[in-house]
A and B are shown apart, each in its own frame.
Chain A
């Protein structure tokens, strides 16, 4: 936020977001709801993996923790905002516990340790906290305003997502953000500068999983139900794909990546039946796989041709626009 232009764009963007439900059909609204929930979760991965360099394959499990805790709290009549915070804290604390291996191991091995975390958490949730069925989530309300339709839930989710974006910005623009990047880029050098690497790694897990917890509860509110089925490992891997496509370490990267991947997936869903008409000899399961094949292809192409993500492309365009007409 440096120039008046940026402020105007921000206000315009916010206005547009809040006017959106009046402008678009309801199935497109569902797409945006899903996107904003995903962005909230992916912002956590941006901090944890993109900034601090700690990979986690258990992100959706931490979302499930947030969803279950939040659902139980909401059913007890706890106010929505408090439930969101507590769901976030629950996700964060569980994330911190399963982040402990990060103190000893890195990269590939850490990925596998967190993968184990995913299954452990899923097992615990199924066996001790409500089973495969899960919990129903009553439509929550703030100040008597009940979020009982997609139209209203959109506002709840969009504003939560923006709050979380603001928090991400705050974390990254002070010593905490620098410490995270220092650990990602060179943990030994960070250590000699007085960064307590263990502490900051754990805090990165806590913060990243806080986002997961909040996003998990949002998803269960949208679904009206908290069940482990909504928080699959596949989703978690897509989230990682999203930060690759968007750009690892920036918030705008999270937005771009999520909209891009989910958009392509939607597109695949629209195109698949048409392809089925064109090529009738394709089997039904083949048609169902088309969206995933699409997204996978995009991911591979990004890793090959633009590993720094859409954000980097955008920076290049911005720079050349600033230098216009002296750029090529």
Chain B
């Protein structure tokens, strides 16, 4: 499944000494890492390690206390959330953060928001071009639906869908942005075996066909070891290891962080 990467070694996103604390609790302590173009970087770590907080710094929900985040050579540490979408940072969520009142199509169409140019007056009067714009974007959305194999559920209201499919809609919506980097927070949490396999396949496909880097936070070690090009391990807000999956598997610091239960789990693969 895993292929040897020929990373062009072009850096997409860099976090430089990012620190974040809530009150007296240090969540992230001088976290530095970089993501190369076209690679899958997984961030793993025990519960409370700061993985989601790190992602939230990357997509702008939290402002780090210190440190810089650079994306394609541009500092984005303080850029507002909605502008990051325009820069090409896509994100999927840990929970179900879809728009349950909309159909699948409309959920994905809302991912096209930043690419649509209809202004208020044009919308109000339904300029002929508004309709043309809808159609052209709908075509892009249909491609994504094909790509993620969701043809059958197009017109379903998201609120009526099962968990695995909702996660897929979430991914589709993020892809509709045409992101240049994709941040995924636990895409496989709560899925069954089959859904996990589907999702893993989609992640690999995205990396392969769209050649965008993916930052992945995931608890399922098997998947992580299988599909990542590189892995970074966080523990209590510190980066304790970073490297290829096989290096991480045997890294004593990592094994120690995961302690008993995880020691077996990691070595098992």
Contact = CB atoms under 8 A, between A and B. Distances in A.
A191 B110 CA distance: 11
28 contacts: A170-B124, A170-B130, A171-B124, A175-B109, A175-B110, A175-B112, A175-B118, A178-B109, A178-B113, A181-B101, A182-B99, A182-B102, A182-B113, A184-B101, A185-B98, A185-B102, A186-B97, A189-B98, A190-B99, A193-B85, A193-B113, A194-B83, A194-B84, A194-B85, A194-B86, A195-B110, A197-B82, A203-B120
Contacts, number: 94
Contacts of B61: 188
B124 A178 contact: no
B103 to A, nearest CB: 11
Interface of B: 59-61, 81-86, 91, 93, 97-102, 106, 109-114, 116, 118, 120, 123-126, 130, 133-134, 173, 177
Given A178-B102, A185-B99, A192 B85 contact: yes
Contacts of A174: 116, 118, 123, 126, 130, 133-134
Contacts of A197: 82
A182 B173 CA distance: 12
A192 B59 contact: yes
B175 to A, nearest CB: 11
A174 B126 CA distance: 9
Contacts of B59: 192
A192 B91 contact: yes
B97 A193 contact: no
A189 B97 contact: yes
Contact of B116 (A169, A175, A182): A175
A167 B130 CA distance: 13
B76 to A, nearest CB: 14
Interface of A: 167, 169-171, 173-176, 178-179, 181-182, 184-186, 188-197, 203, 249
B125 to A, nearest CB: 7
Contacts of B177: 193-194
A190 B100 CA distance: 12
Given A193-B177, A194-B85, A175 B113 contact: yes
Contacts of B120: 176, 203
A48 to B, nearest CB: 15
Contacts of A185: 98-102
Contacts of A189: 93, 97-99
B81 A192 contact: yes
A84 to B, nearest CB: 15
Query: Which residue of A171, A175, A249 has the most chain B CB atoms within 10 A of its CB atom?
Result: A175
Nearest to A199: B82
Contacts of B111: 193
B83 to A, nearest CB: 8
B93 A193 contact: no
A50 to B, nearest CB: 10
Nearest to A177: B123
Given A185-B101, A185-B102, A193-B173, A178 B110 contact: yes
A205 B86 CA distance: 25
Most buried by A among B86, B98, B101: B101
A171 B123 contact: yes
Contacts of B116: 174-175
B261 to A, nearest CB: 33
